[in-house]
């Protein structure tokens, strides 16, 4: 099984509907909560403002299930490879900074 990054974009006006889908049934085996996802404002990832990105790492089969759930949001769009790269870099740099900060506490 091969896990890879996936990202989807949504208009800001759909944020509440998006959160409802992301937070639904958090204890289910195929929930977003169990898979682990990041919801990020697009401008924080170097993309044009006015959108939100959902980023997750999953196998293709699981990602397809998540994608089907997200398609009920009217502004659903799968991120292009370039957008996915920018989102991935932004999230990984935040995670690395948090890890370094945590390490300096106990350093």
Identify the structural domains of the chain with CATH numbers, from first to last: 3-106 (3.30.70)
Q: Is residue 107 over pLDDT 60?
A: no
User: What are the tens digits of pLDDT across the range 4-61?
Assistant: 999 999 999 999 999 999 999 999 988 999 999 999 999 999 999 999 999 999 999 9
Residues paired with 58 in a beta bridge: 4
Q: How many whole angstroms separate alpha carbon 9 and alpha carbon 51?
A: 7
In this prediction, residue 98 carries a pLDDT of 66
Q: How many CB atoms lie within 10 A of CB 72?
A: 11
User: What are the tens digits of pLDDT across the range 75-96?
Assistant: 999 999 999 999 999 999 888 7
Query: Whose CA is closest to 70, among 10, 3, 12, 5?
Result: 10
């Amino acid at each position: 099984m091969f896990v890879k990054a996936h990202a989807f974009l949504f208009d800001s006006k759909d944020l509440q509907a998006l959160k409802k889908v992301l937070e639904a049934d958090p204890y289910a085996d195929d929930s977003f909560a169990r898979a682990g996802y990041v919801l990020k404002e697009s401008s924080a990832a170097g993309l044009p403002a006015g959108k939100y990105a959902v980023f997750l790492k999953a196998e293709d089969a699981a990602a397809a299930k998540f994608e089907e759930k997200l398609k009920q949001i009217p502004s659903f769009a799968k991120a292009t490879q370039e957008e996915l790269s920018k989102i991935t870099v932004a999230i990984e740099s935040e995670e690395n900074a948090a890890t370094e900060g945590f390490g300096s506490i106990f350093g």
